[in-house]
């Protein structure tokens, strides 16, 4: 569950994956509130995230958290 996220949300993404890069580009463009910290990773494990409380998210949960951050909580998933 991604309710109660604390920002910034650090998003680790696979810089070698075109799919990850496409998702990150959209998030980067939308994150006008500065809630995301995007970090390239050589880990081929896909997308992971960590919020300011230290909670960790993997895969789809990490993406959900990132979209919530980028859309200032306005997106309902």
**pLDDT, tens only, 26-69:** 999 999 989 999 999 877 777 899 999 999 999 999 999 999 99
pLDDT surpassing 60 at residue 75: no
User: How confident is the model at residue 2, as a pLDDT?
Assistant: 63
| Residue position matching structure tokens 């006008």 | 32
pLDDT band at 77 (very low <50, low <70, confident <90, very high): very low
For the whole model, what pTM was predicted? 0.85
User: What percent of the residues of the chain are helix, what percent strand, and what percent coil, each to the nearest 5?
Assistant: 30, 25, 45
């Amino acid at each position: 569950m991604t309710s109660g996220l604390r920002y910034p949300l650090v998003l680790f993404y696979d810089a070698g994956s075109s799919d990850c890069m496409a998702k990150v580009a959209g998030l980067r463009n939308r994150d006008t509130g500065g809630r995301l910290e995007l970090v390239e990773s050589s880990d081929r494990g896909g997308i992971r995230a960590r919020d300011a409380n230290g909670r960790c998210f993997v895969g789809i949960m990490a993406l959900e958290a990132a979209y919530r951050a980028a859309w200032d909580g306005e997106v309902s998933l």
